[in-house]
């Protein structure tokens, strides 16, 4: 998670680290990133000192105001067209959740982690633009 935080720093994004304890979330820690919108990077199956995680999950919770004139974006169509990031909601919810999983076990380069962050940011912006276009 330290390497991920340093990469976020290099990208010029503000962030904070939060340890997750007893919140019914299986992640060990998360980074809260401010990028025009708040999004999170969750670290799963982490070892302590230094904190190495075998899995990461990028997540954003986006509020929307659905009405008859402007229905919610077709999330099934979004998921079919966008390979790496999935979007979903629950019935009656006023939020859309975007997620992207990254499996790190066995090792990856820091360049690959940076590419994953850039892919996430690009997909997040694309999703937000598609919501605005509706």
- pLDDT tens sequence across 31-41: 999 998 999 99
Query: Which of 32, 31, 28, 30 is CA-nearest to residue 47?
Result: 28
Q: Where are the domains of the chain?
A: 2-132
105-to-38, 53, 119, 130 alpha-carbon distances in Å? 27, 8, 20, 33
Instruction: Evaluate if residue 86 carries a pLDDT over 80.
Output: yes
CA distance 134 to 121: 21
Class for the domain spanning 2-132: alpha beta
Helix axes 2-10 and 110-132, enclosed angle (nearest 10): 60
Q: Which residues contact 36 (CB under 8 A, 6 or more apart)?
A: none
Model pTM score:
0.86
Instruction: Evaluate if residue 72 carries a pLDDT over 70.
Output: no
Task: Report pLDDT digits (tens) over 8-20.
Answer: 999 999 999 888 7
Residue with tokens 């919140």: 23
């Amino acid at each position: 998670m330290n390497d991920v935080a340093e990469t976020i720093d290099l990208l010029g994004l503000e962030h904070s680290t939060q340890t997750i304890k007893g919140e019914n979330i299986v992640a060990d820690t998360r980074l809260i990133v401010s990028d025009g919108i708040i999004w999170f990077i969750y670290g799963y199956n982490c070892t302590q000192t230094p904190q190495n995680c075998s899995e990461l999950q990028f997540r954003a919770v986006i509020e929307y105001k659905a009405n008859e004139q402007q229905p919610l974006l077709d999330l099934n169509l979004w998921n079919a067209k966008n390979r790496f990031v999935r979007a979903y909601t629950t019935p009656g919810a006023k939020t859309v959740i975007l997620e992207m999983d990254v499996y790190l076990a066995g090792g990856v380069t820091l360049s690959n982690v940076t590419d994953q962050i850039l892919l996430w940011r690009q997909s997040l912006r694309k999703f937000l633009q598609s919501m605005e276009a509706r």
